[in-house]
């Protein structure tokens, strides 16, 4: 299982340009002598972050040191029955630099940079709210009520009497709107009317307003569950991305018949998912992938297949009609792989996977990441198998258990080495967000005169405290 470590908490003075961010990243990697071990860099969607890693890292040094890499690559032509693959694998160290600028320009990822899945999913929700006028009106009422509830002592006392609270609205925090609306709905109509009467400029939530809020909760509940799961640090999350996108689209498709007031929100959410995750959608629909398509990196599909919880179960439960008559040869660059057996397993993965097709009736409400296992074949864990046989044994293994438990006890040695590389990637940049949360607690109003070095040292110890072995 991958671990998140804080390498440095560097002070980055303006201007926060892409060039300066890249230079700062290179300086840190040089200091730790790990520049060759960078596999993927996880960032959110700010334009400066996209530009910083558009052409990767250390491009000039690699050109001088290795010359023309195109002539030295070992090229393996493979067929991945229903997906196009163009992947370069090497070691990985996650680097993320926080910022306060979001970019609505959906410039896609490059070989080294991946977008934070949680941040992109939140942008999908914001797209839906922004382009649905009736939703914005009701949401504005919720925001006004939330602000007043945290300023009025009378309202605070009344909320305390009924043992309720209203969440604060924070546009930079994931699921902020969902949690705000849910806290208001939990109050109940009668108590809500009594609370709003305490406001200087009283607002009223009509019955239709409450129906709108209930529909929003029904629509956004899977988005909330997904964002919470994909930001976990103790489980594999890269494998969740593709099934999560499919689950979100399937959920919207299933629920739209029961929606009265938020049909525009459903449409906007669907459109935003198809746009912001176009790389995934195009692979599922067997259409050509463009270089700038967001989430076009095949590492997400490979991670999903190599997670025992998913394998190909998510394909059978999806609404996408993936056919076998469109298969494209692609060249996989493996020059950055340091282990030959990992190369073999990667080639085998790309050439041997065959997607089974079956149509299943869609339930009214889908449970997140729950699939039916229709494969009861026994697994062959012989240590003498080649990569192709290991892959077949893995896909035929009926055992369903946690990712870490499965791969820590497996005897599929070749696949295990590939898994270690691919699952060094996490779906989100949540660990760095938590760093800044801790930083805010450390640098309180009483510590404004703290020296910069002391502040960095305290934060470094706090984040990496699990590395300290203290015998009491």
Contact, 130 vs 136, CB < 8 A?
yes
Write down the pLDDT at residue 267: 94
Structure-model confidence comparison of residues 181 and 67, the more confident one: 181
With a cut of 50, say whether residue 397 has pLDDT above it: yes
Which residues fall within 8 angstroms of residue 453, CB to CB, at 6 or more apart? none
Is the pLDDT at 361 greater than 60? The verdict is no
More reliable by pLDDT, 83 or 249: 249
| 447 vs 231, higher pLDDT | 231
Q: Could you give the CA distance from residue 375 to residue 206 in angstroms, rounded to a whole number?
A: 51
Give whichever of 61-65, 96-100, 321-325, 428-432 has the largest mean pLDDT.
Answer: 428-432
The pLDDT value given to residue 303: 92
pLDDT band at 221 (very low <50, low <70, confident <90, very high): very high
- pLDDT at site 364: 60
266-281 pLDDT per residue, tens: 999 999 999 999 999 9
Spell 426-443 as b/e; 16+ CB within 10 A means b.
Answer: bbbbbbbbebeeebeeee
Tokens of 106: 């959906």
Question: Does 417 score more than 70 pLDDT?
Answer: yes
pLDDT of residue 263: 92
Is the per-residue pLDDT at 215 higher than 90?
yes
Q: How confident is the model at residue 331 (pLDDT cuts 50, 70, 90)?
A: very low
Most confident by average pLDDT, 80-89, 212-221, 226-235 = 212-221
pLDDT of residue 104: 43
Q: What is the pLDDT of residue 447?
A: 82
pLDDT band (50, 70, 90) for residue 234: confident
Given pLDDT bands bounded at 50, 70 and 90, which one contains residue 294?
very high
Q: Are the C-beta atoms of residues 87 and 332 closer than 8 Å to each other?
A: yes
Least confident of 95-104, 288-297, 346-355, 376-385: 95-104
**How does the average pLDDT of the chain come out, rounded?**
76
pLDDT confidence of residue 450: 87
Distance in angstroms (rounded) separating the CA atoms of residues 27 and 32 = 9
Could you tell me which residues are beta bridge partners of residue 332?
Answer: 76
Q: How far apart are CA 393 and CA 397, in angstroms?
A: 6
**pLDDT at position 465, please?**
87
Q: Is the pLDDT of residue 78 over 80?
A: no
- The angle formed by the CA atoms of residues 426, 422 and 369, to the nearest 5 degrees, is 60
Q: Examine the pLDDT at 444 and tell me if it is beyond 60.
A: yes
Q: What is the pTM of this model?
A: 0.74
pLDDT for residue 320: 63
Could you report the per-residue pLDDT of 14-24, keeping only the tens digit for each?
888 888 888 88
- For the chain, percent of residues with pLDDT exceeding 90: 26
Q: Tell me the C-alpha distance between 423 and 406, whole Å.
A: 14
Task: Say yes or no to pLDDT of 382 above 70.
Answer: no
**Tokens standing for 19?**
């060039």
Does the pLDDT value for residue 312 go beyond 70?
yes
């Amino acid at each position: 299982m991958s671990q998140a470590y804080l390498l440095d908490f560097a002070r980055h003075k303006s201007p926060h340009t892409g060039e300066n961010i890249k230079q700062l990243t290179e300086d840190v990697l040089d200091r730790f002598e790990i520049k060759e071990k960078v596999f993927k860099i996880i960032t959110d969607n700010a334009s400066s972050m996209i530009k910083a890693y558009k052409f990767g890292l250390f491009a000039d040094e690699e050109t001088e040191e290795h010359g023309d890499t195109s002539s030295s690559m070992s090229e393996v032509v493979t067929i991945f029955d229903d997906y196009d693959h163009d992947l370069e694998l090497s070691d990985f160290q996650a680097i993320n630099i926080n910022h306060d600028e979001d970019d609505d320009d959906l410039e896609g990822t490059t070989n080294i940079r991946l977008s934070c899945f949680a941040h992109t999913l939140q942008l999908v929700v914001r797209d839906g709210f922004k382009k649905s006028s009736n939703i914005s009106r009701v949401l504005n009422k919720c925001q006004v009520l939330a602000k007043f509830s945290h300023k009025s002592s009378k309202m605070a006392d009344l909320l305390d009497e009924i043992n309720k609270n209203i969440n604060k609205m924070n546009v930079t925090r994931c699921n902020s709107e969902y949690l705000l609306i849910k806290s208001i709905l939990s109050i109940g109509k009668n108590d809500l009317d009594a609370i709003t009467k305490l406001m200087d400029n009283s607002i009223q939530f009509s019955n239709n307003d409450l129906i709108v809020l209930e529909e929003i909760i029904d629509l956004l509940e899977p988005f909330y569950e997904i964002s919470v799961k994909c930001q976990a640090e103790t489980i594999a999350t890269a494998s969740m991305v593709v099934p999560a996108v499919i689950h979100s689209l399937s959920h919207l498709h299933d629920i739209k018949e029961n929606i009265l007031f938020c049909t525009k929100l459903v449409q906007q959410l669907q459109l935003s998912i198809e746009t912001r995750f176009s790389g995934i959608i195009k692979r599922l629909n067997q259409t050509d992938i463009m270089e700038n398509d967001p989430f076009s990196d095949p590492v997400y599909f490979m991670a999903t297949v190599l997670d025992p919880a998913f394998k190909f179960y998510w394909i059978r439960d999806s609404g996408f009609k993936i056919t076998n008559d469109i298969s494209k040869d692609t060249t996989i660059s493996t020059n950055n792989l340091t282990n030959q057996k990992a190369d073999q397993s990667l080639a085998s993965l790309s050439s041997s996977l065959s997607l089974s097709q079956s149509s299943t009736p869609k339930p009214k409400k889908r449970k997140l990441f729950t699939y039916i296992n229709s494969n009861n074949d026994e697994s062959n864990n012989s240590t003498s198998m080649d990569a192709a046989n290991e892959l077949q044994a893995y896909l035929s293994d009926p055992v369903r258990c946690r990712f870490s438990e499965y791969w820590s006890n497996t005897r599929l040695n070749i696949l295990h080495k590939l898994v270690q590389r691919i699952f060094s990637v996490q779906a989100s940049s949540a660990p760095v967000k938590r760093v800044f949360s801790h930083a805010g607690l450390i640098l309180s109003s009483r510590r404004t005169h703290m020296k910069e070095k002391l502040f960095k040292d305290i934060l470094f110890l706090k984040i990496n405290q699990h590395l300290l072995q203290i015998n009491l």
